Amino acid sequence: MTDDPASRPPRLSRRAVLGAPAAGLAAPALPATADADTVALCRTWLANKAETMRLLERWGDIEAELMRLQGPSRPGESLTAGPQAAPLRAIDARLDQLHAEREALAPSLPLSTATTREGVLLKFEVVMAELFVQDFPVIYGLLHTAVRDLKALW
């Protein structure tokens, strides 16, 4: 590499980058597939989350019914044994699959690029779905109102 200043690309100052939109210059175009991929990724994540929550609720209903039928003296693995517990075993297997899918998707979420309103809002929906309101009530409320305001403005 040479120290010749003419061989180096020009450096843009922060002021030039921030002032470009005001001067009528367009920001560099992102690939069109970036947002489509982000939207698909977020929709997959949210569908996975919804199915997981539905299965966990169903598990609770079945478990409560089995405890009612068998009595509370059979907790734990003995509750999931036998033919009546077959739905619990099927739910458990599906929950394992859903967990593996989420583990595979998780590294891609922070790297995805949203270039449309839909993509940005879906990314926020994923965050809201994963943020426990009980653990962070103020932050959850702030995020919820920020998304509401963003929808109203955009």
pLDDT (tens digit, 9 = 90+) per residue, 21-53?
A: 444 444 445 554 578 899 999 999 999 999 999
- Check if the beta carbon of residue 66 is closer than 8 Å to that of residue 84: yes
- Check if the beta carbon of residue 85 is closer than 8 Å to that of residue 64: no
Window from 13-22, 39-48, 52-61, 114-123 with minimum mean pLDDT: 13-22
pLDDT surpassing 50 at residue 123:
yes
pLDDT surpassing 90 at residue 138:
yes
Q: Which two tokens stand for residue 8?
A: 């180096």
Q: State the pTM of this model.
A: 0.71
Return phi, psi of residue 28, to 5°: -60, 140
Task: Round the average pLDDT of the chain to a whole number and report it.
Answer: 81
- Check if the beta carbon of residue 112 is closer than 8 Å to that of residue 41: yes
- Check if the beta carbon of residue 140 is closer than 8 Å to that of residue 131: yes
The alpha carbon dihedral of 90, 94, 97, 103 has a sign of: negative
Quick one: what percent of the chain has pLDDT higher than 70?
Answer: 73
Query: pLDDT-based confidence at 14, cuts 50/70/90?
Result: low
Return phi, psi of residue 30, to 5°: -90, 155
pLDDT surpassing 90 at residue 3:
no
Query: Which of 48, 37, 15, 56 lies closest to 129, judged by CA?
Result: 48
What local confidence, expressed as pLDDT, does residue 146 receive?
92
DSSP one-letter code for 11: P
